[in-house]
Chains A and B, each alone.
Chain A
Amino acid sequence: MNFKDNKAIYLQIADRIGDQILSGVLVPEGKVPSVRELAAEIEVNANTVARTYDHLQQNGVIYTKRGLGYFVCPEARDKIVASRRDQLMQGEMDYFLGQLKAVGITPAELQGLYQEYLSK
C-alpha cells in the first residue's frame, strides 16, 4: 500500500485538480467544472466532490462566484506548491529517508545523486 492508495478520495480528487492547475489544463481565473459535471466524469459521489471543492476553497485554490460556479484563484499555483511541499516533508520524505538509511546511502552520495538529477 503506497501513500496514494489509501488517501481519502476527496483528497485524491483535490490532487487531480492540483495537477491540472500545475500543468496548465486549468488556468488562473478559469472556470472549474461544476460539482455534478466532475462527479459524473470521474464516477464519484457528488457529495465527495463537494467536499473536495470546500477543501480547495479553504486552501485558497479555488473560489466561488455566486451563481456562476467555481474558478481558479490567481495565486492557486503557489498555494498548491506550498501544500505539496508540506505534504512531502511530513510524510513521503520520512519514508524516503528511511529507505536511504536502510540501504546505506550517505548524505554525500545523496547530494551527488540529487545534483546529477537536477542537471539532467
Chain B
Amino acid sequence: MLSINNISFSYNKRSGDLFHDFSLELNAGNVYGLLGKNGAGKSTLIYLMTGLLTPKSGEALLDGVNVRKRLPKTMSDIFLVPEEFELPRLSLKQYVDINAPFYPNFSKEDMQRYLDIFEMDDDMDVKLQALSMGQKKKVFMAFAFAANTHVLIMDEPTNGLDIPSKSQFRKLVTTGMTDDKLMLISTHQVRDISDILDHVTIIDQSRVLLNTSFADVMNKVAFRPLREGDQPLFVLQSPYGPLGAVPAEEGEETKVDLEMLFNATLQNPAAINQLFTTSK
C-alpha cells in the first residue's frame, strides 16, 4: 500500500545521508510500531512518507502514486499527527467545518465517538486555544481518526497524555482500526502501545534492522527467565533473576516484550537478522 523505494535523503551536504538507498513496504490491515533510537531518523522517515520532505533520490508511493506530488487524492487519504503542533484560534466546530471537507470519509459520528473515548466534553464551541496541550492532542487525534483516511501516521502520540489517556488512546486505535487502514505509530513509549501493534519496524540510520509481525516474533524469540545453556540475545537483570530474549524453542510462545526485543535488536543486529531471515 505504502512503498518506500530506495530513498536517499540528507538535511545538508556536509552531514552526509541520513537515509541511503532505504526501502520499506507497509501494508493495509496492520498497525505498525516504528522504533528507533533518538536521531535514527523516525520523524524524517515519516515526513518522507507523507510527502513533506523531498528525497534526493528514490520515492514514496501510496497505491502507486508518488506522495511528493501531493495530489489531492493522496493528501485526502493520509493523515499525520506530528509530535508537536499548533491549533488555530478557532472553536472546535469551526475547525471541523473548515478541515473536514478535505477528507471525503470524515465522519462526525466517529468524531463524537472518539471524543467520548477520550472523555472530552462534547462542547463543539470550545475554543481550541483554551485547551491544555494534552487536550489539544486528544481533540486533534479524535479528528485524525474521524477523517478515516487509509493511512494514519502518528509521531509519539502518547507523549503529553496523562495516565488514563494512554489507555484511551489504545481504545481509540483498536476501535478505529479496520482491515483497509494502515496505521503507523512512531514512539519510544513501547509499553504504552505494545499490545495494540501487529507489526514492529526497527530502524537505525538507513537500515531496517527488523521489520516483522508480532506473530513472527513470538515464533522466533522467547522472553523469559534465563535457564542454563541459554544463548540469550539480550539479558535484563530483574528482582526475579536474569530475564532474557532467547531464540524460541519449538512451540515455545511467550508474551512479546517490545523493550527487550528493541534492545536485543540494537545490541545484536546480526544475530537478530539471522534469526528472522532463516525460516524455521
Q: CB within 8 Å of B: which residues of A?
A: 1, 5-9, 11-12, 36, 39-40, 43-48, 51
Contact = CB atoms under 8 A, between A and B. Distances in A.
Given A8-B253, A8-B254, A9-B255, A44 B224 contact: no
A55 to B, nearest CB: 10
A46 to B, nearest CB: 6
Contact of A46 (B167, B170, B177, B215): B177
Given A8-B218, A43-B167, A43-B171, A48 B195 contact: yes
A118 B240 CA distance: 32
B95 interface: no
A5 B240 CA distance: 12
A45 B31 contact: yes
A7 B254 contact: yes
24 contacts: A1-B225, A5-B255, A6-B254, A6-B257, A7-B254, A7-B255, A8-B218, A8-B254, A9-B195, A9-B255, A9-B256, A11-B253, A12-B255, A43-B167, A43-B170, A43-B171, A43-B174, A43-B195, A44-B174, A44-B196, A45-B196, A46-B177, A47-B214, A48-B198
Given A1-B224, A1-B238, 9 more contacts: A1-B240, A8-B254, A8-B255, A8-B256, A9-B255, A36-B174, A44-B196, A46-B198, A47-B198
A48 B171 contact: no
A40 B255 contact: no
B174 A45 contact: yes
Contacts of A36: 174
A110 B39 CA distance: 59
A8 B223 CA distance: 10
Contacts of A11: 253
Minimum-distance CB pairs A-B, first 4: A43-B170, A8-B253, A40-B175, A47-B198
Contacts of A43: 167, 170-171, 174, 195-196
A1 B174 contact: no
Interface string B213-240: 0110010000111000000000000101
Interface of B: 31, 167, 170-171, 174-175, 177, 195-198, 214-215, 218, 223-225, 238, 240, 243, 253-257
A12 B253 CA distance: 12
Contacts of B224: 1, 6
B243 A48 contact: no
A40 B174 contact: yes
A3 to B, nearest CB: 10
A9 B253 CA distance: 9
Nearest to B195: A44
A45 B255 contact: no
Given A6-B224, A9-B255, A51 B177 contact: no
A36 B174 CA distance: 8
Task: Give the one of B174, B175, B198, B225 with max A CB within 10 A.
Answer: B174
Contacts of B197: 45
A39 B174 contact: yes
A42 to B, nearest CB: 8
A36 to B, nearest CB: 8
